[in-house]
Structure 1
Amino acid sequence: MTQPTTRRTVLATSAAALAVGCVGCGAENDKSSPATDTAVSRTPASSSASTSPAAEAFTQNELARTSDIPEGGGKIFKEEKVVVTQPKKGEFKAFSAICTHQGCTVAKVADGTIDCPCHGSRFHVTDGSVAHGPATKPLPKKSIKVEGNSIRLT
């Protein structure tokens, strides 16, 4: 005759199954279309023997190149939680990438707005002000410095 299954056995088995099921959950690559994917992840590339420490430090401090930011649009940098826009040629702005409505990360920059996927809030690329609710507060400004072709957070 078998023994009845205890609550402890069920919980332990469930926990083990969950742990096995989650192995590699964060390793899946996002294969979004480059035409619509404006979010950028900045994971440093492996350094080679020919890279000088000064050049490596410069690369690590650089958020983007000016050529990376489309005129009239922008790019989202998820790791830094910042979005950089270029409302007019040569004019660069930076804002928090966290929506002021409920804290979601904005997902795209298109048609002159920074768009939040959670509830549809949109913000102007020119000043971060609300273009369409439900958000009522603008995106907070972030300080950047443009030197030559380099854009850095300050």
Structure 2
Amino acid sequence: MDDARELSRRTALALGGTGALGSALILAGCAPGSDSGGGGDDSGTGTDAGDGATPTDAAGEDVAALADIPVGGAISATIGGEPVLLSQPTAGEVVAFSAICTHQGCTVAPEGAALICPCHGSTFDPATGDVEQGPALEPLPSVPVSVDGDRVIAG
């Protein structure tokens, strides 16, 4: 009798378990903070936007002209091929954030004085990267940049 029960349990797992597991994996992909949204980089190049690091070969990269970033606003750019947002909260001060939304990995874009995810409407503070309105729960990761004269430099 144990063999019959074991066989039916195996059959049930083989037939029904796959659907339950598949459903759980799909739901996990929608969870806030999930890695399945493309927020990080699994290529081994060190470009994981989740830790605020810039690609090693991008340090010193000329990113943008300071004059192109409106004071109190932001622009889209790339550092090491990765999308970033450059913001100038006060004249001469530039901060940068990964443009990958922490909700599901869509590319956030500047709109006026806000950073907005076009997929689900999350908004982020352009000076801090903090979430102003969800569904995102985590802030945009910062990316190190510096101002050198009239240019913004990665690193």
Same fold flag (TM > 0.5): yes
Instruction: Give structure 1 regions of 4+ aligned residues with deviation exceeding 4 angstroms.
Output: none
Matched AA of 1:89? A
Alignment of 1:4-153 (within 5 A): 61-77=61-77, 79-111=81-113, 113-153=114-154
Matched AA of 2:69? I
Bigger helix fraction: 2
Distance 1:95 1:71 in 2: 16
Matched AA of 2:62? E
Structure 1 vs Structure 2 CA RMSD:
1.5
Aligned to 2:29: none
Distance 2:105 2:92 in 1: 30
**Cα distance per residue 1:12-48 (max 9 Å; x no partner):** xxxxxxxxxxxxxxxxxxxxxxxxxxxxxxxxxxxxx
Matched AA of 2:96? A
Q: Tell whether the 8 Å contact from 2:63 to 2:152 is kept in structure 1 after alignment.
A: yes
Equivalenced residue count is 94
* TM-score, length-scaled by structure 2: 0.57
Unaligned runs of 5+ in 1: 1-59
User: By how many angstroms is 1:126 displaced?
Assistant: 1.1
Distance 1:88 1:153 in 2: 19
Q: Among all aligned residue pairs of Structure 1 and Structure 2, give the percentage whose two residues are the same amino acid.
A: 46
Higher relative contact order structure (alpha carbons within 8 Å, sequence separation ≥ 6): 2
Q: Tell whether the 8 Å contact from 2:65 to 2:150 is kept in structure 1 after alignment.
A: yes
Unaligned runs of 5+ in 2: 1-59
